[in-house]
Structure 1
Amino acid sequence: MSLNKRIQQIQPSHTLAVAANAKKLQRAGIPVVDFSAGEPDFDTPEHIKAEAINAIKAGFSKYTDVAGIPELRQAIVTKMSRDYHLDFRPEETIATNGGKQALFNALSVLIDPQDEVLIQTPYWTSYPEMVSLVGGIPRFMQTTLKRGFKITPEQLKRSITERTKVLIFNSPSNPTGVSYTADELKELSTVLIKNKNIYIVSDDIYEQLVYDSKKFTSFLHVAPELRERMIIINGLSKAYAMTGWRIGYSVAPAFITLAMAKFQGQTTSNINSIAQKGAVEALTSDQACVKEFRERFQQRRDLMLSLLKNIPNIEYIKPDGAFYLFPDFSKYLTTNHPTSVALADYLIEKARVAVVPGSAFGAESFLRLSYATSQE
């Protein structure tokens, strides 16, 4: 008796494992400085919680359409018009159990066995595992700190083969916090426009968290001709402090969205009905809470950067989005702790500081520090 080979090859989430270990120590009464979780410590805004409570009181607890209630799909359209300045239709949207399910849905309907998926390194830890789960082959494009953790058009062009089916793109990035500029996206888009068989799955979960008065830019802003090959992944977890609500969504051409809804209909069906009502309120009401969270994250980033200056022999860049720092600790990898995992274990065991090893993101000598945590 055995499990299938595919699941045996999948690695558990390092980020969730580190966060769980930190919480276990805290429950045991051991103080831990936790820089591990990619989860805002803010509470969900009161007006969003109130709408969910109203839904409970109104008995809104039945199945809904697989792709989401009409009000939520329209709210996603409204959000895209307000924040992206792009027009979509409700039938191009689907509500999912977090952005993670939206991403898995997209890969599941796009990838055939042995199709190649391009992923920039460092990457969010789940990208290659999801690709492998659906039978695809992850192909990595290595970046460096000196190059700002960004791929170049030449590098993208070299990485494309006749089997390339999807590019997974993430800006602002987890784990680096790096955002691409409009000019950089324009240059990359020239390569994608010429390669007409490649879909772009754009993970935009941090699009609301861009700092220093910079503006988020999508491929669709600089290359609207990519629209029929573009799948936008987003959610409410990060910008609205709603991680446990599990509300994600995708925006894609109607034929892709229809396929994703068919796939979701045979897996989870609709997302939580009560959470959907809260999501409508979040997306359509006053956005002051998002602005407040963004300002507080920027303050925390600046504090973390000032503290990092006191640590000798590390290198890092100033992130302009998300809520992570990704310093290079290569000079701290010694015989006693030769890997980023060993160094992270040492830090939590000896200093009670929780960080995520860079190997989880395909970058061995680095550590990820989240500033989605209290300044105290």
Structure 2
Amino acid sequence: MISEALQRIAPSRTTAMTDRAARLRAEGRDIISLSVGEPDFATPRHVLDAAKAALDAGQTKYTPVGGTLRLKEAASLHFRRDLGIAVPASQVTVSAGGKQAIFHALLATVSQGEEVLVPAPWWVSYPEIVRFAGGKVVPIRTGAANRFRFSAGQLESAIGPHTQWLMLNSPGNPTGAVYPPEMLLALAEVLRRHPRVMVLSDDIYAPLDYTGARHASLAALCPDLADRILTVSGVSKSHAMTGFRIGVAAGPEWLIKAMERLQSHSSGNPCSISQAAAVAAFEGPQDFLAEWREIFRARRDLVVEAVNAIPGLSCPVPDGAFYCFVDATPLMERFGDDEALAMHLLEHGVAIVAASAFGGANGFRISFAASEDRLREALRRIAGAVA
């Protein structure tokens, strides 16, 4: 019998679409997958060399549950250098991807009926994790008019007596929304009036900010709130290490210990070889990130221009990450809903994810973490499919 907790959640629709596309390719169909958020770049050589060296050195045994001290110190360097957050290794934990860190944080703190504020559109796993923990999702609606960012006033209105967490994702998935310092400072003023509310700041896409400004993180801007903020980061997006499954999180020591207590009974330690590779990622050369960012920026501009040239489709220019959130409202009378549109596009050889998977409607998300040639061909197919 399936548990009540599991019955409260649905499978990830992003992975479902990616798996569906993979099955069609295995059947011989030419499918371009723009459904998954995975950089197409090769993992940097110095990272691969570190993984091989760890294997050769026999580093194949258990490590401490929350990660090796070496990796915690390297992650501490990352938080300080790249996010501006001064945090000791004792306030850092390592998990099998950022998703696991978020899962453990909410499972360790959310009790039955407590509320979590989740800006919509949202990353698909946020609401499902909240529901699995027994919490209630309270959406904060955003749209293209406000660049998919919620205001301090919206936050104030959403907070209630049972609010436990605010989810904050910048740059955001699926919209690419970036919160500048002035908006974060305004949110902080609201949070100071509500000392019970904690913030989960998902900064995994921090290296992919196209605004030209330094990434702004709430814990760095407002150190007086740091004991209420869990900042999640990692190496998957920044260093093309999705398969290594390493996430890092920094926050108050009591929360880090609680997450590690839970991890001791769920997965145990993250992969020892992946941890060694992540040390090299954090401590090694970072100069390639600027080049990658410019490549992604060019791809973004290509996709936005092409989408806005297709009758019935439109999308704003995302400020970060590698996603475009496309509005297809004029096509809904023809297709009925965005899931039907997604399946129609799949039949025409392009895998995307319907906006409804992210708490949105009448559109879809495109990942532009693919080569320019593949993006051009995919957009040609999309244009033909909706013509």
Normalized against structure 1, the TM-score is what? 0.97
- For residue 221 of structure 1, what is the aligned residue in structure 2? 220
User: Aligned to 1:266, what secondary structure does the other structure show?
Assistant: helix
Amino acid at match of 1:338: G
| Runs (5+) with no aligned partner, structure 2 | 374-387
User: Aligned to 1:94, what secondary structure does the other structure show?
Assistant: strand
Measure the CA separation in 2 of the matches of 1:9 and 1:218.
Answer: 32
Alignment of 1:361 with 2:354, yes or no, is no
1:27-46 equivalences in 2 (<5 Å): 27-46=26-45
Amino acid at match of 1:370: S
String of CA shifts for 1:102-137, please: whole Å, max 9, x gaps.
Answer: 001110111111110000000000001000111111
Match of 2:372 among 359, 371, 375: 375
Alignment of 1:346 with 2:369, yes or no, is no
In the alignment, is the contact (CA less than 8 A) between 2:168 and 2:201 conserved in 1?
A: yes
User: Aligned to 2:59, what secondary structure does the other structure show?
Assistant: coil
In the alignment, is the contact (CA less than 8 A) between 2:308 and 2:315 conserved in 1?
A: no
User: Aligned to 1:200, what secondary structure does the other structure show?
Assistant: strand
- For residue 123 of structure 2, what is the aligned residue in structure 1? 124
In the alignment, is the contact (CA less than 8 A) between 1:240 and 1:289 conserved in 2?
A: no
- For residue 376 of structure 2, what is the aligned residue in structure 1? none
Measure the CA separation in 2 of the matches of 1:148 and 1:345.
Answer: 27
* Deviation (angstroms), 1:298: 1.0
- For residue 378 of structure 2, what is the aligned residue in structure 1? none
String of CA shifts for 1:137-177, please: whole Å, max 9, x gaps.
Answer: 11101112112211111111111110001001101110000
* Deviation (angstroms), 1:9: 2.5
String of CA shifts for 1:318-340, please: whole Å, max 9, x gaps.
Answer: 101000000110111124x2111
| Runs (5+) with no aligned partner, structure 1 | none
Measure the CA separation in 1 of the matches of 2:234 and 2:73.
Answer: 15
Q: Write out the 4+ residue segments of structure 1 that deviate beyond 3 Å after TM superposition.
A: none
Deviates more, 1:220-229 or 1:89-98: 220-229
* Deviation (angstroms), 1:251: 0.3
User: Aligned to 1:81, what secondary structure does the other structure show?
Assistant: helix
Please provide the CA RMSD for this pair. Answer: 1.1
* Deviation (angstroms), 1:365: 0.9
* Deviation (angstroms), 1:291: 2.1
Measure the CA separation in 1 of the matches of 2:363 and 2:205.
Answer: 21
String of CA shifts for 1:213-271, please: whole Å, max 9, x gaps.
Answer: 23210112332211010001111111110001100011011111111111101111100
* Deviation (angstroms), 1:314: 2.5
Amino acid at match of 1:363: G
Measure the CA separation in 2 of the matches of 1:299 and 1:227.
Answer: 35
Measure the CA separation in 1 of the matches of 2:196 and 2:256.
Answer: 18
1:34-73 equivalences in 2 (<5 Å): 34-73=33-72
User: Aligned to 2:273, what secondary structure does the other structure show?
Assistant: helix
Measure the CA separation in 2 of the matches of 1:249 and 1:363.
Answer: 28
1:278-293 equivalences in 2 (<5 Å): 278-293=277-292
Aligned residues: 373
Alignment of 1:144 with 2:143, yes or no, is yes
In the alignment, is the contact (CA less than 8 A) between 2:107 and 2:133 conserved in 1?
A: yes
Give the share of equivalent positions with the same residue, in percent. 37
Measure the CA separation in 2 of the matches of 1:209 and 1:62.
Answer: 34
* Deviation (angstroms), 1:292: 2.3
- For residue 263 of structure 2, what is the aligned residue in structure 1? 264
Deviates more, 1:356-365 or 1:206-215: 206-215
